[in-house]
């Protein structure tokens, strides 16, 4: 017997099957297929077309039914809409090579620069170019690969050569089709931008406020953070969206960008209908001005306009530089400015003791968000504006998170206005501040006794790139500090289950009742487990985790490779240190200063006794030399400073591979003068970056600090 529940609508009636005792596997699979296809269609109508045909409850009921059948019969199609709700956990995202490198775009900021771009394009092609103008969506780049109409994998940009496989998370984004419709090519890649609409962003930050979690600074950061979450069910709740802007593959229907994007829209992709074909600079500027004005009406952030040569033949002729296509360019909108009143200035203490003055402003709306604070950087910055309290100041928001003060209206300043001065004592622990000669920042020297410095150092120690102690975060560090259990990194390793279990903290939110939270058994065990795991963290990262001023990741790696053990580094003098490649006086002095402090030496000793890595393991020592690992180069042409063989030797020395001919596996072509035209043509065809001798040298010299 089959039971149905009936929904009567004006134009139609639907029946939802409740229970079917005659259901067998074969029938169930048929049903799963039908439900999958039906739900995917409704999903597309709702999220891409914004024209739903059935009410939300009906959709949810059908989805629940599918979910139940999939579980019962252990059968799920790769495009099942149940992937949309997530649930799969990803421990570490696997990296995967891009079919062709994911490049970025050159930037322009004025009509003049844009005219130069147009001239460069025209000079290099014989036919008149047509351009496609698109919005520059401010989110996270994504590459989606479809095989036979099914989403096969989704990769982040990563370093452009390889990215993280975030397929499970991407499948939860409802506007990304899991199965295509219409007449699509068998195999192709489509790239676009994952964005977080303002409505999702505001909702997320409201939730985080009530949970006492740190807020995301902007929708871009929130989208990036969401995409890398380990729990796809959480990603599903984040309300992400995706706009597509680039198709590539063998059998695309059109011979130009615009037609293929339009075709992609018919396959089910969310291709914004804001894209427009333009021929002249006037038309392009009209598009730019339209969106410069209109961007605030959009439900998502854009930071400019992208202008692309439409025709593929012309694109091919123009080719690529090392990092960007020569056939496309971004026009970035100017940062917006508003004026507001400077109410007061607070002085924040960072983990290294540096004091950052922060302007508290009368709240003002700027580029869609309310601005209340702006960084004032240091004393020189304050003095350069001769800032006074109650001044009318001009605030700008560029690409960066924190808005900046770019000017002050002295004409409206009152005669009795109070000048902003720098404090002499630390605002947190009242220790007299110091300022080294030639340095812009003031510091609180009370490293061991100043609370924000202690907490900041601990937060740095546990951070992902340092000891990666995942189960501890800002809130738990605060808890451990307030309880008096932890004052330095070594104290973390003295923690026991009994000390952690039941630990309490009071959370106070503006205008709300204080709330007590306590640490449960599960968290206590997780903390102990991740501390245990951190004993395996390599020496270079341990060195970075110590938080020595100016010792960033790259410097830490250099020092670890050179000195090999903490004991050897401890003994190093300034003179020895500055002989190490790329270590200057400033770093050398900071390192020797740090090791001359008895308390630091004690922490090191205790960490060592707790089994933290204090020596470079043999496989790590080659890390520095292996910066080209996994990359294949083809060297062609005549060079200015080195012979071709010397360049090939350098590639091998730094862990890369040197190949004779260009293929799909080639990552870079190092080109000198007189590079063969066939090689040039092939590299362009495959979208392989062609780099100069200088760019190659930059690559092997590259530092991250
Ligand atoms: S085209 C080779 N089009 O901007 C083609 N990119 O600053 C490269 N972006 O990495 C990309 N909107 O993440 C293109 N309409 C658009 C875009 C766009 C945003 C992002 C993309 C790219 C970055 C470059």
Query: Which pLDDT tens digit goes with each residue over 95-115?
Result: 899 999 999 899 998 999 999
Within a 13 Å sphere around the CA of 306, how many CA atoms are in the beta-carbon half?
Answer: 25
**Residue with token string 């306590």:** 518
pTM of the model: 0.57
**Dist. CA 133 → ligand 1 center (Å):** 12
Beta-bridge partner residues of 373:
360
**How many percent of the chain have pLDDT more than 90?**
62
For residues 417-439, give the mean pLDDT: 93
Burial class of residue 654, CB neighbours in 10 A (0-12, 13-18, 19+): middle
Q: What is residue 438's predicted lDDT score, i.e. its pLDDT? A: 80
The C-alpha atoms of residue 367 and residue 488 are separated, in whole angstroms, by 41
Q: What is residue 14's predicted lDDT score, i.e. its pLDDT? A: 58
107-332: CATH topology is D-amino Acid Aminotransferase; Chain A, domain 1 (3.30.470)
Band (pLDDT 50/70/90 cuts) for residue 624 is low
Q: Going by CA atoms, what residue is nearest to atom 22 of ligand 1?
A: 104
Beta-bridge partner residues of 107:
330
Ligand 1 binding pocket, CB closer than 6 Å: 103-105, 134, 136-137, 141, 193, 245-246, 306, 325, 328, 330
Out of 194-208, 238-252, 670-684, least confident range: 670-684
The C-alpha atoms of residue 97 and residue 157 are separated, in whole angstroms, by 10
Beta-bridge partner residues of 516:
506
Domain ranges within the chain, ordered by starting residue: 2-85, 107-332, 336-446, 451-534, 539-621, 632-704
Question: Encoding tokens for residue 401?
Answer: 């998170």
In the CATH hierarchy, which top-level class contains the domain 632-704? alpha beta
Taking 60 as the threshold, does the pLDDT of residue 408 lie above it?
yes
Taking 70 as the threshold, does the pLDDT of residue 228 lie above it?
yes
Counting ligand 1 atoms within 8 A of each CB, the residue from 190, 241, 245 with the most, and so the one to mutate, is 245
Q: Going by CA atoms, what residue is nearest to atom 16 of ligand 1?
A: 136
Distances (CA, A) of 502 to 198, 458, 603: 38, 21, 27
Give yes or no for a contact between 430 and 347, defined as CB atoms under 8 angstroms apart. Answer: no
Q: Going by CA atoms, what residue is nearest to atom 6 of ligand 1?
A: 136
| Domain 451-534 shares a fold with domain 539-621 | yes
DSSP class per residue in 405-438: EEEEEGGG--TTPPBP---SB-TTT-PBPB--TT
Q: Phi and psi for 542 in degrees, rounded to 5?
A: -60, -45
What Rg, from alpha-carbon coordinates, does the chain have?
29
Is CATH 3.40.50.300 the right assignment for the domain spanning 539-621? Answer: no
Q: What is residue 259's predicted lDDT score, i.e. its pLDDT? A: 97
Query: Which pLDDT tens digit goes with each residue over 517-559?
Result: 888 899 999 999 999 999 999 999 999 999 998 898 878 988 9
Band (pLDDT 50/70/90 cuts) for residue 446 is very high
Q: What is residue 2's predicted lDDT score, i.e. its pLDDT? A: 46
Counting ligand 1 atoms within 8 A of each CB, the residue from 140, 193, 258, 310 with the most, and so the one to mutate, is 193
Taking 60 as the threshold, does the pLDDT of residue 20 lie above it?
no
Checking DSSP bridges between strand 392-397 and strand 404-409, what pairing results, if any? antiparallel
Query: Which pLDDT tens digit goes with each residue over 316-352?
Result: 999 998 789 999 999 999 877 899 999 999 999 998 8
Q: What is residue 169's predicted lDDT score, i.e. its pLDDT? A: 95
**How many percent of the chain have pLDDT more than 70?**
93
Taking 70 as the threshold, does the pLDDT of residue 219 lie above it?
yes
Cα 393 to chain centroid distance, Å, stands at 31
Q: What is residue 262's predicted lDDT score, i.e. its pLDDT? A: 97
Band (pLDDT 50/70/90 cuts) for residue 511 is low
Active-site residue, 136 included:
yes
**Which CATH code, of 1.20.58.220, 2.60.40.10, 2.40.50.140, 1.10.150.20, is assigned to 451-534?**
1.10.150.20
Range ranked top by mean pLDDT from 143-147, 216-220, 500-504, 557-561: 143-147
Q: Going by CA atoms, what residue is nearest to atom 3 of ligand 1?
A: 245
**Dist. CA 135 → ligand 1 center (Å):** 9
Tell me the CATH architecture of domain 336-446.
Beta Barrel (2.40)
In the CATH hierarchy, which top-level class contains the domain 2-85? mainly alpha
Counting ligand 1 atoms within 8 A of each CB, the residue from 258, 315, 324, 330 with the most, and so the one to mutate, is 330
């Amino acid at each position: 017997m089959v039971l149905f529940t009936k929904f009567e609508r004006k134009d139609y009636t639907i029946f939802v099957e409740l229970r079917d005792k005659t259901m067998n596997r074969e029938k169930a699979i048929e049903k799963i297929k039908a439900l999958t296809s039906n739900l995917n269609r409704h999903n597309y109508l709702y999220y891409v077309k914004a024209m739903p045909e059935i009410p939300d409850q009906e959709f949810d009921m059908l989805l629940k039914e599918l979910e139940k059948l999939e579980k019962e019969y252990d059968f799920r199609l790769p495009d099942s809409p149940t992937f949309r709700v997530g649930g799969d956990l990803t421990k570490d995202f696997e990296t995967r090579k891009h079919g062709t490198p994911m490049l970025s775009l050159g930037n322009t900021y004025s009509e003049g620069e844009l005219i130069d771009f147009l001239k460069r394009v025209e000079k290099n092609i014989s036919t008149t170019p047509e351009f496609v103008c698109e919005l520059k969506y401010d989110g996270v780049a994504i590459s989606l690969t479809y095989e036979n109409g099914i989403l096969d994998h989704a990769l982040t940009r990563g370093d452009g050569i390889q990215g993280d496989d975030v397929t499970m998370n991407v499948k939860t984004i409802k506007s990304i089709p899991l199965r295509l419709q219409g007449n699509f090519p068998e195999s192709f890649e489509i790239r676009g931008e994952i964005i977080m609409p303002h409505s999702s962003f505001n909702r997320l930050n409201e939730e985080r406020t009530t949970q006492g979690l740190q807020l995301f600074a902007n929708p871009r950061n929130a989208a990036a953070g969401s995409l890398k979450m380990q729990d796809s069910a959480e990603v599903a709740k984040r309300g992400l969206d995706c706009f597509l802007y680039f198709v590539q593959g063998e059998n695309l229907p059109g011979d130009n960008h615009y037609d293929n994007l339009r075709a992609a829209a018919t396959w089910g992709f969310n291709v914004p209908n804001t894209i427009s074909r333009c021929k002249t600079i006037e038309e392009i500027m009209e598009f730019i001005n339209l969106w410069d004005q209109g961007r605030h009406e959009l439900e998502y952030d854009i930071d400019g306009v992208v202008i692309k040569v439409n025709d593929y033949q012309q694109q091919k002729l123009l080719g690529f530089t090392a990092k960007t296509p020569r056939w496309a360019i971004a026009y970035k909108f100017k940062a917006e400015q508003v004026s507001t009143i400077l109410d007061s200035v607070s002085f924040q203490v960072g983990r290294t003791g540096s004091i950052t003055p922060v302007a508290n402003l009368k709240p003002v709306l700027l580029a869609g968000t309310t601005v209340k604070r702006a960084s004032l950087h240091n004393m020189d910055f304050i003095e350069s504006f001769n800032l006074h309290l109650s001044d009318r100041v001009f605030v700008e928001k560029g690409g960066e998170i924190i808005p900046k003060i770019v000017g002050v209206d002295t004409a409206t300043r009152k005669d009795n206005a109070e000048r902003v001065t720098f404090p002499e004592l630390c605002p947190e622990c009242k220790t007299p501040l110091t300022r080294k000669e030639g340095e812009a920042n003031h510091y609180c020297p009370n490293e061991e006794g100043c609370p924000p410095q202690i907490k900041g150092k601990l937060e740095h120690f546990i951070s992902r790139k340092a000891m990666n102690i995942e189960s501890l975060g800002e809130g738990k560090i605060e808890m451990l500090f307030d309880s008096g259990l932890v004052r330095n990194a070594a104290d973390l390793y003295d923690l026991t289950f009994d000390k952690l279990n039941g630990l309490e903290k009071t959370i106070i939110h503006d205008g709300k009742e204080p709330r007590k939270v306590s640490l449960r058994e599960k968290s206590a065990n997780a903390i102990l487990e991740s501390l245990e795991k951190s004993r395996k963290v390599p020496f270079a990262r341990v060195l970075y985790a110590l938080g020595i001023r100016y010792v960033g990741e790259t410097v830490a790696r250099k020092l670890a490779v050179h000195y090999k053990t903490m004991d050897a580094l401890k003994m190093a003098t300034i003179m020895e240190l500055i002989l190490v490649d790329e270590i200057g006086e400033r770093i050398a002095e900071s390192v020797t200063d740090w090791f001359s402090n008895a308390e630091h030496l004690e922490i090191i000793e205790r960490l060592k006794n707790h089994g933290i890595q204090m020596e470079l393991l043999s496989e790590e020592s080659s890390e520095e030399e292996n910066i080209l690992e996994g990359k294949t180069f083809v060297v062609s042409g005549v060079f200015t400073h080195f012979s071709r063989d010397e360049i090939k030797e350098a590639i091998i020395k730094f862990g890369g591979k040197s190949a004779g001919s260009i293929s799909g596996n080639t990552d870079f072509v190092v080109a000198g003068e007189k590079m063969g035209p066939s090689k040039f043509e092939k590299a362009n065809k495959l979208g392989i970056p062609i780099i100069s001798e200088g760019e190659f040298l930059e690559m092997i010299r590259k530092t991250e600090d």
